[in-house]
Structure 1
């Protein structure tokens, strides 16, 4: 028997309401300044047959305030801490491996669902290690240009499923980021399920309903 590991990230969990030996796994990832409770707040709306895990970013910003990497907003645009972003990418991958010794789930059915910076990390993890991720739901995120040089080749990416949702009036991560990501993914012969809304930087009921319907179809 494999000994249990201390997971790379702090997390909270909802076990499947519909029991199975190897349920699919859905990992929720919050945005800057959030924590593992944010996206877990709508866990009851998520499909009953999934093991749902909500992870906390490793960077502490303040009381109950965390991030996956720090970012500075300048006149020339946002500047990320690349070292932290890469460290978090690796920590998420290690976290998935650690979970295998703690929770029971189908290793071929691992999904990431991230809002804002959590969406950024979903892209970074899945596009570099697509064999380990079945699909990602990116909500109000962006694809870091820094990750593009290490994105897997088309043959490795072809099975990856991608959902994108973004508000057209997003004042934090502009809507153009979603369009740019879609164009880049299509250049890699991926066909993301794309949804746009007349919203700011948020998850509204329509967005949540659309992502749940997408998850159920996988």
Structure 2
């Protein structure tokens, strides 16, 4: 379950109603405070909520078991997606639009959330992430909607296999309205240039 008491918000409860909501999903071994540092560089009109993944992993947390890098089993991913959707359903009445931003494993969650609810989100941002490698009957519904997606990845990423990145680019091109950016020399991280591009993407939503 997503622990609502651990969610990190950029606005106090009394100021959230009516604002668009950006849901942040961290990577493996991290926690709900990690991506919150990106929030000051993003459009201030958006309220940000950073969630903690439900599984313990090393010093931090994980959304699902790792498996093969970039190629997790789909069942546990979908189980985690259902937990995030349940949390979103509890807050959606306060927010006219909801966007997703995930890093690494969190990026795979953002794209899988689109598969689960193609019309439910204003956009999904996947940074150093990947799409789950499965033929998914829900992809036809995603392609019919063509939701806005931002893919950001470095060409020096030692964590996400090149095959997984290429698969994700092909999937996004076929099913979404994608903005695809590759950052020379960037490892498994978020750069200032990438963050500026994400800010512009979110601002246009």
| TM-score range normalised by the length of the shorter chain | 0.7 to 0.9
1:51-62 counterparts in 2 under 5 A? 51-62=47-58
Matched, 1:11 2:7: yes
In the alignment, which residue of structure 1 is the partner of 2:85?
93
Secondary structure at the aligned position of 2:199 is classed as: helix
Distance 1:26 1:117 in 2: 17
Counterpart selection for 2:121 from 115, 133, 145: 133
Give the conservation status (yes or no) of the 8 Å contact 1:8–1:91. no
Cα shift readout 1:97-133 (whole Å, capped 9, x = no counterpart)? 01236xx211xx2100000000000000012211111
Relative to structure 1, is the Cα distance of residues 194 and 117 closer, same or farther in structure 2, using a 3 angstrom cutoff? same
**Does residue 83 of structure 2 align to residue 115 of structure 1?**
no
Alpha-carbon distance, 1:43 to partner = 1.8
Task: Determine helix, strand or coil for the equivalent of 2:150.
Answer: strand
Q: Distance in 1 between matches of 2:202 and 2:70?
A: 31
CA distance change for structure 1 residues 124 and 155 in 2, over 3 Å: closer, same or farther? closer
Change (3 A) 1:141 1:79: closer
Normalised by the length of structure 2, the TM-score is: 0.87
Residue 31 (structure 1) aligned with residue 27 (structure 2):
yes
Three-state SS of the structure 2 residue aligned to 1:146 is coil
Unaligned 5+ runs, structure 1: 1-5
Of the two, which has the highest radius of gyration? 1
- Give the superposed CA RMSD: 2.3
Higher relative contact order (CA 8 A, sep 6+): 2
TM (normalized to structure 1)? 0.82
Segments ≥4 residues shifted beyond 3 Å: 6-10
Flag structure 2 segments of 5+ consecutive residues without an equivalent.
Answer: none
